[in-house]
Amino acid sequence: MDLQFVYQKKRSEFGRQCLFSDKGPDLIDNYPSNKEHLPNFILRDPFTQGTQCSTIQSEHDLNTTRAHFINYGINHSEGGWPKDVSKDEEEQVKRYRRKVEKEDAYNPTVMSLSKSMEYFVLQNNSINIYQQYFTDMKALPMVEPSSIRTVNVYHDQCTTKRPVNRISWSPDGGTKLAVTHCCLEFQKPTTPSTSYSYLWDVENPNTPLLTFTPIETPMVCIEYHSKDVNTLISGHISGKVDVWDARKGNDPVNKSTTDVSHREPVRSVLWINSKSGLEFFSTSTDGQVKWWDTRKLNQPLETLILSAPGQVIEKAMSACSLEYEPSIPTKFMVGTEKGSPGEKMATRYAAHLGPVLAIQRNSGYQKNFLSVGDWTIKIWSEDCRESAIMWTPSHSAYLSDGSWSPTRMSVFYTTRSDGVLDVWDVLQQQRHACMSTKVSDEPLSCLRIHEQGRLIAVGTAKGTTSLVQVTENLATSSKQDKSLLNAMFERETKREKILEARNRELRLKMKAKSAEAIPTESQGQMETLAVEGDEFELDPNVQLAEEEFYYIVESEEKRGTYESIFCLFCF
């Protein structure tokens, strides 16, 4: 059996013929060395590489027969109907069919056509070995692991490093960042260079796009207009508010006067819905909330004093955070240093043991809002006044800021004093953060989330602003997230209502028993004693915090770290 086959190829297909000859080397050009150029060269370490035993390489090519395809198309219209029968009229079609079925040639014609039709039906039902049975099934998306990475870092241009107080994204898709730097320590000396704040281009972390130069005092907070990419408002440590136009340089275009401004540093400014679109709120630690119009800063439109028994400035509660939801134009929320956020003073919530540093409504459920203070985060409902519906355990580090994700309703982010950024998802777990990342070695002071949910600007106590990016799964909601979160909020709200009713019932019983047990001379004295007993009743939130505190102290004492935990809580 002959197993040989000869491959033939024309000589012209091999390429140009190589003609070799025995000839000595030719000197084409000669460049003598010049010692003057020696300083321009960098000496390189000796490097030796053998070239005799190099890898053998070869070239292969393969040509296949190309298949040529041609597409044809035909136009088909239903025919065979008589001119007096319209195929669009159902009655005429039925009448014509009954007429054809009564003819004598109808049955033989159908019988003759049935054999060929049966053949094609059986052929169509035969097994196709190339058929794809799972074309209708959609491929399940791959589960992406959650992660956070740092994209850019923006440094304070001042030699004296100052904390980052507030960050604001521009409304044109978040291409710019407005960052304020200010030290709020009491009687901290300031210079013109330490009063500067910056406007950054997100893509350029080296040089600020614009430097804000306040005339008198540093800027504490700043906020972009929701529709105008050039208009900003700011609050200053002197209590004044300014209006800025990025097109007109680094000086304010309008500012308030001292006699109508706040008496202490402005902690928050927010734009509100109005016909002109030029009105905003400001709040300060002097216990006032002022309503301004950017066209007339010589006098606020309205002033609210945060005092429970009337508008008394001496009894006002210092405000440190402000929240306004445009979809609820008649309500705004204020977080005070006494730990209770009040909504237009119509409702007061005993939220935290310290200042409420951040407060924000959920983007999908306006009745539920988040508050950040001391060492915990709490989620509240407007239907429950006495306690939160959800809260986190006490952290070992002090919390500084928090915010809901604008694109995924169940996720919120918090910053801590140990430089850690926490990511919480209430649908996954409530006792621990689903992810924690060390962003900086310095304490984190504030954060602001991009409108698309993937970029987060985080400020530190040393003046550094880090731009971090989260994965897509932390910024995208699934189809079931909204229904599951709604069911969770309703369940927790109903549970808290039942517990509130039970606690009120127990308190009434305790009052009745104490009033009956204490002998008094008159009914008036009995009522006074009952009221005094109610005043000294321990707050459930304080009792819970005390239990958690002693539990942490005991657990850390067993591990030999009692002193550090004790100092941390004392601070």
Highest mean pLDDT (candidates 45-54, 71-80, 102-111, 183-192):
102-111
In the block, tokens 């013109």 appear at 192
Torsion sign over Cα 338, 344, 345, 351: negative
Identify the weakest region by mean pLDDT among 106-120, 240-254, 267-281, 349-363.
349-363
Helix axes 562-570, 540-558, angle to 10 degrees: 150
Q: Which domains are seen in the chain, by residue range?
A: 148-479 (2.130.10.10)
Cβ-based neighbours of 134, under 8 Å, separated by 6 or more: none
Provide the pLDDT confidence category of residue 458 given band limits of 50, 70 and 90.
very high
Share of the chain above pLDDT 70, in %: 82
Residues 8-35: pLDDT tens digits? 777 777 777 777 788 778 888 888 888 8
Q: Residue 468's pLDDT is what?
A: 92
Identify the weakest region by mean pLDDT among 467-476, 478-487, 534-543.
534-543
CB distance 527 to 518 below 8 Å = no
Q: Residue 526's pLDDT is what?
A: 32
Q: Residue 521's pLDDT is what?
A: 43
Q: Residue 361's pLDDT is what?
A: 86
Please give the residue that has the higher pLDDT: either 385 or 411: 411
Find the mean pLDDT for residues 424-449. Answer: 88
CA proximity to 342, closest of 310, 314, 307, 375:
307
Q: Residue 316's pLDDT is what?
A: 78
Please give the residue that has the higher pLDDT: either 127 or 383: 383
Residues 138-167: pLDDT tens digits? 555 555 677 888 888 998 888 888 888 899
Cβ-based neighbours of 454, under 8 Å, separated by 6 or more: 469, 470, 472, 474, 475
269, pLDDT greater than 70: yes
297, pLDDT greater than 50: yes
What token pair was written down for 78? 């239903």
Average pLDDT, the chain: 79
Q: What distance in Å separates the CA atoms of residue 163 and residue 180, rounded to the nearest whole number?
A: 8
CB distance 210 to 245 below 8 Å = no
CB distance 224 to 243 below 8 Å = no
| pTM, two decimal places | 0.61
Q: Residue 389's pLDDT is what?
A: 82
Q: Residue 135's pLDDT is what?
A: 60
Residue 66 has phi, psi (to 5 degrees) of -80, 135
